[in-house]
Amino acid sequence: MKNLIHILQFEWKLLWRSNMLKLLLVVMLGAGVYGIFFGKFEIEKQNIRIAEVKEYEQGRFDSLLTWANLDTSILANKEKYLKAVSPEGVGWRLHFSHCIVNEASPTAGLCLGQRDLFPTYYRINLTDLARQMNTAELANPMKLLTGNFDLSYVFIFLLPLLIISLFFNLYSDEKEKGTLSLLQAQAISLNTILLDKGFLRLLTVWAISAFLLVLGFLIQGVSIANNADIFFQWLLVIFAYTLLWTLFMAGIVALKKGTAVSAMLGLGVWLITTLIMPALLNLFVSANEPLPNRAEIIHAVRAANNRNWDSPKSFVLEKFYEDNPQYSQEDTTHFYKWYYASFALLDKEANTIRNDFNTQINKRNKLIKKWEWMAPAAMVYEHLSKISKTNRESHLHFMEATHDFHDRLKAIYYSKIFAEEKFNQQDLRVIQAMQRY
């Protein structure tokens, strides 16, 4: 222990006095701070867009509530009032849309993940959901391809480079500068000395990554105290990742090769684990496992729609009552009942195909998951985006929530439409409360 402290003390002096470390720290800090601000900027942009939509939707709903409150003894108000409280009117002539938002998690700005590929909100009405969910945020594909320079990128790509440059000449530098023989002449074994030196470097890496993480939370205005679990999960993942890299480098140092060879070996491991392996896995999967043709959902919906319109009303309504006996009063002629029931059939059709597609895609992604261990960088990225709820799964959850939201909306609307009742104030408030904004 005394020896450890002694070595750490002097090794720190040596490290600090070499300009290499200072340069690396400046680069790391610079990249880290840039990444933090970039992530903050990106997530703020998303939030502004969400706020815009929310404000618009809230305004619309508020005017709906105002209409529902109008004094109907005045003739001019009658039409507006009816529009606001008629479930078929709200749904049809206006195709009144309801908004559901996927809010950014507190640390989304530290790891933007896959969030930029997906819509952050859906505006849906009572009609079939499949076609309404086919939207995308405007994005320059060039930017999507290049990816985001956020803090997670700094940790995943640049931190290993810092570790490589701190470790690669741990042994060879002593040898090439001639201090090795004097170290070997001491009463502590060389391995202990090298281990201690490595330990100090690992501590340095941990310190700078923890510092950047704290800085990230502070700059992005995320309270560490309130999000302690997220903070420690981040810390744990990054410490584990850096430890893994330290082990890689320890293996390279143990080979006792020269400076240039060690540097090349380190860079080689970096290339293979962060660039070549993920790219090869992606190539392999895309060459062997085709993605489903999602246009088929749209086609199925339009074909079913065609069939609904070409058939007598009873065709749709009978099927609908079979699935939803709670609404059945055996009425097979009512236009609005037919109109809205037909969308339920479209949803049913679309959901069957959607489930098939999901199975196919899950199979494809499982193949990647199976080989993911070969690309630890991708694993860490997946973990960080999972913690920050910016991965694809988080979006799938949001899509499920949207389906659920749509179902609940339908339940409220249908219960009124099939009972041929109007909305009251209470109903509208329930609907408003259901919207996630």
Partner 1 sequence: MLLLIIKKEILAALRNVRLQIAGIFLIALMLVAVLLGRQGQQLIHKEREKAQSAMYDIWVNQGMKHPHSAAHFGQFAFKPKPVLSFLDVGLDNYTGTSVFLEAHKQNEILFSAAQDSNAMIRFGEMTMALVLQILLPLLIIFLTFNIFSKEREEGTLKLIYAQGLSMRQLFMAKVWATYVMVLAIFIPVICIAYFLLDYQSVSMDPNIGLKFIGLTITYALYFLVFVLLSVLISAFAKKSSISLLSLLGLWIVACIILPKATANLADKAYPTPSQFEFRNTIREKVKNGIDGHNPRDERLNALKQKVLDQYEVSSVEELPVNWSGIAMQAGEEYTDKIYDREFTRVENIFKKQNRLSEWVGFINPYLAIRHLSMAFAGTDFDHHTAFARAAENYRRAFVKKMNKDMELNHTPGIAYGDYNVGKEMWSSIKPFAYQLPDLTSILSKQWRSVAALVTWLLGLFFIASIFSNSISKI
Partner 2 sequence: MLRTINLTKKYGTHTALNNLNLSVQAGEIFCLLGANGAGKTTTINLFMNFIQATSGQVFINDLEVAQQAQATKKHLAYIPENLNLYGNLTGLENLQFFAGLGGEKPKKEVASQLLKSVGLQSEAINKRVKQYSKGMRQKVGIAIAKAKQADNLLLDEPTSGLDPQASNDFAQLLREMRENKVAILMATHDLFRAKETGTHIGIMKEGDLVHTLKSDEIKLNELEQLYLETMKTESHATANN
Which is closer to partner 1, CB of 218 or CB of 275? Answer: 275
184 binds, among partner 2, partner 1, none (CB under 5 to 8 A by kind): partner 2
Contact status: 38 vs partner 1 (CB under 8 A) = yes
Scanning 147-189, the segments in alpha helix (DSSP H) are 151-153, 159-167, 172-177, 180-184
The DSSP letter of residue 374 is: G
Q: Report the greatest alpha carbon distance in the chain.
A: 104
Residue 367 Cα distances to 73, 278, 282, angstroms: 66, 13, 10
Contact status: 18 vs partner 2 (CB under 8 A) = yes
Which of the stretches 9-17, 104-112, 234-242, 390-398 binds partner 2 when contact is defined by CB under 8 A?
Answer: 9-17
> Is beta strand 98-101 parallel, antiparallel or unpaired with respect to 121-124?
antiparallel
> Which long-range CB contacts under 8 A does 286-291 form with residues at least 24 apart?
289/363, 289/364, 289/367, 291/360, 291/361, 291/364
Out of 8, 161, 183, 190, name the contact with partner 1 by CB under 8 A: 161
Distance CA 280, CA 259 (A): 29
Q: Which amino acid appears at position 22 of this protein?
A: K
Which of 52, 105, 43 has its CA nearest to residue 397?
105
Binding letters toward partner 1, positions 98-137, x by CB under 8 A: ---------------xx--xxx--------------xxxx
Out of 138, 142, 145, 177, name the contact with partner 2 by CB under 8 A: 177
Which is closer to partner 2, CB of 1 or CB of 142? Answer: 1
Tokens at residue 428, please? 């509208």
Which is closer to partner 2, CB of 12 or CB of 371? Answer: 12
How many residues of this chain interact with partner 2, rule: CB under 8 A?
A: 21
179 binds, among partner 2, partner 1, none (CB under 5 to 8 A by kind): partner 2
Nearest approach, Cβ of residue 176 and partner 2 (Å): 10
Site for partner 1 in 39-98 (CB under 8 A): 41, 45, 49, 52-53, 56
| Binding residues vs partner 2 (CB under 8 A) | 3, 6-7, 10, 13-14, 17-18, 177-179, 181-189, 193
